[in-house]
Copies of this chain bind each other. A is one copy, B any other.
Amino acid sequence: MYVVSVADVLYGYVSKNTEITINGWIRTKRNSKAKISFLDLYDGSCLASLQIIANHNLHNYSNEISRVTSGCSVTIIGTIIESLGTKQHVEVIAKNITILGWIENPSTYPITAKHHTMQYLREVSHLRPRTNIIGIISRVRDTLSHAIHKFMNKHKFIWIPTPIITSSDTEGIGKMFCVSTEKTKKNINCSKNEEKIKKYCPYDFFGKEAFLTVSGQLNAEAYACALSKVYTFGPTFRAEYSNTNRHLAEFWMVEPEAAFVNLNEIIILAESFLKNVIKTILEKCSDDLKYIANHIDSDIISRLENFINTSFIHIEYTEAINLLKKSHKKFKNSIYWGSDLFSEHEKYLSEKYFNAPVVIKNYPKKIKAFYMRLNKDNKTVASMDILVPGIGEIIGGSQREERLSNLDERLRENNLTQENYWWYRDLRRYGTVPHSGFGLGLERLILYITGVKNIRDVIPFPRSTKNINF
Give residues in A with beta carbon < 8 Å to B: 3, 5, 7, 23-26, 43-45, 71-73, 75, 100-104, 109-111, 125-127, 129-130, 134-135, 138-139, 141-142, 145-146, 149, 153, 156, 158-168, 177-193, 196, 205-208, 210, 212, 219, 222-223, 225-229, 234-235, 237, 239, 241, 249-250, 252, 259-260, 402, 423-424, 426-434, 459-461, 463, 465-470
Contacts and interface: CB of A to CB of B under 8 A. Distances in A.
Across the A-B interface, the 4 shortest Cβ-Cβ residue pairs:
A44-B227, A101-B432, A129-B226, A187-B187
Given A135-B226, A161-B252, A205 B43 contact: no
Given A260-B75, A427-B126, A434-B100, A190 B179 contact: no
A25 B68 CA distance: 68
A431 B71 contact: yes
A163 B461 contact: yes
Nearest to A6: B228
A431 to B, nearest CB: 4
Contacts of A127: 222, 226, 426, 430
A206 B146 contact: no
A23 B228 CA distance: 9
Contacts of A156: 5, 7, 45
Contact of A183 (B104, B166, B192): B192
A167 B469 contact: yes
A361 B143 CA distance: 35
29 contacts: A7-B156, A25-B226, A43-B228, A44-B226, A44-B227, A45-B227, A75-B260, A101-B428, A101-B432, A101-B433, A103-B431, A104-B430, A134-B226, A142-B159, A161-B235, A161-B460, A162-B460, A163-B461, A164-B250, A165-B212, A166-B468, A167-B469, A180-B189, A181-B190, A184-B187, A187-B187, A210-B468, A219-B461, A423-B469
B186 A185 contact: yes
A281 to B, nearest CB: 15
A400 to B, nearest CB: 13
Contacts of A222: 125-127, 129, 460, 470
B181 A158 contact: no
A158 B185 contact: no
A151 to B, nearest CB: 12
A138 B224 CA distance: 12
Nearest to A183: B190
B180 A235 contact: no
B165 A101 contact: no
Contact of A239 (B159, B162, B181, B402): B181
Given A5-B228, A75-B260, A250 B430 contact: no
Contacts of A225: 130
A223 B25 contact: no
B158 A142 contact: yes
Nearest to A240: B205
Given A127-B226, A142-B159, 11 more contacts: A73-B431, A100-B432, A103-B430, A103-B431, A125-B423, A149-B149, A179-B212, A180-B180, A185-B191, A205-B241, A207-B465
Contacts of A183: 190-192
A431 B461 CA distance: 21
A366 to B, nearest CB: 27
Contacts of A468: 165-167, 206-208, 210
Nearest to A187: B187
Given A100-B434, A433-B23, A129 B460 contact: no
A177 B179 contact: yes
Given A180-B190, A430-B71, A433-B73, A466 B228 contact: no
Contacts of A188: 187
B73 A432 contact: yes
A237 B205 CA distance: 12
A129 B101 CA distance: 52
Contacts of A153: 142, 146
Contacts of A239: 181, 205
